[in-house]
Each structure stands twice: as C-alpha cells, then as structure tokens.
Structure 1
C-alpha cells in the first residue's frame, strides 16, 4: 500500500497522464479540488473529453446555473462552461478520456 497527500498534487489532479500522479493513464483524469469563495475559472471547453463534476460541499455557479452539494454536472465535448465558487467549495472531477492539452478558452467570454 502506498500513501500520498492531495496537497502534493497539482490543483487536486491525482489520476491521469501528467506528473505528479498516483496512477498514470490517459484513459481518465480524476481530481478533488478545493475552492475558496470567489475563486473563478474562465469559460472553456474540451473538444475530446467529457467532464463530470460533483459538488461535494459548498455552492458554485457554472454557465449561470447554481449548484449545491450533491449536484452532478456532465459537460459534453464542445460545451463551454465557466466556474465560480459562491462559497468555499469542494469538487470531485472526472474527465474521460484523459486527453492532455484538451482545454480551449472561450473567445469573447
């Protein structure tokens, strides 16, 4: 058995084809991310991957819609969304396949 710390991973990503990782694969990427109230991510899409976000705790706004703890959001390839933590928020994110360099910022967003 091996033991690691989430804080040693980059932005909470711990499974995927990047470094550091606990399990190197291009099949999937997995993260647990912590956001402070007011943290934002710019509107973007993935052209290859589907992204599934679970709001574990807190509240967030994505593409104008508010989500709370227990919400599961599936974002299809080519679908743009942004992210804003409305309060301290923890998410679990699964991206499949684990396509590196598959993040495209929305122009004029």
Structure 2
C-alpha cells in the first residue's frame, strides 16, 4: 500500500501521464482540487479529452451556470468552459483519455 497527500501533486492531479503521479497512465487523468472562494480558471477546452467534474463540496460557476455540491458536469472535446469558486469548493476531475498538452485557452 502506498499513501500520499493530495497536496504532494501538482494542482491535485494524482493519476496520469505526468510527474509526480501516484499511477502513471495516459488512459485517464484524475485530480482532487481545492479552491478558495473567488479562485478562477480561464476559459479553456480540450480537443481530445472529455472532462468530467464532480463538485464534492461548495458552489461554482462554469460558463455562467451555478453548479452545486453533488452535481456532475461533462465537458465534451471542443467545448469551452471557465470556472469560478463562489465559496470554498472541492472538486474531483476525470479526463478521458489522459492526453497531455491538450489544454487550449479561449482567445479573448
């Protein structure tokens, strides 16, 4: 058995084809992320991967839509979304496949 802390990984990403990782694979990427109220991520898309985000706790805005704890959001390839934590928020994120260098910021 191997035990690590989420904060030992970059931005909570602990499964994927990157370093550090707990399980190295390009099939999938998995993260648990903690956001403080007001934290934001710029609008971006993935051309290859589907991204699934579970709001474990808190509230956030994604593309202007309020997402509450217990809700699951699926973002398909080519679909842009941004993220803003309305209150302290914890998410679990799964990207399938775990395609490296597949994040494209939306042009302003």
TM-score of the aligned structures, taking structure 1 as reference length: 0.98
Give the root-mean-square deviation of aligned CA atoms.
Answer: 0.3
Which residue is 1:83 aligned to?
Answer: 83
For structure 1, list consecutive stretches of 5 or more residues without a partner in the other structure.
none
Which residue is 2:74 aligned to?
Answer: 74
Distance 2:96 2:51 in 1: 7
Which residue is 1:28 aligned to?
Answer: 28
SS of the residue corresponding to residue 26 of structure 2 reads coil
Q: Where do 4+ consecutive residues of structure 1 move more than 4 Å? A: none
For structure 2, list consecutive stretches of 5 or more residues without a partner in the other structure.
none
Report how many aligned residue pairs link the two structures.
108
TM-score of the aligned structures, taking structure 2 as reference length: 0.99
Q: CA deviation at 1:76?
A: 0.1
Aligned residue runs from structure 1 range 1-109, under 5 A: 1-108=1-108
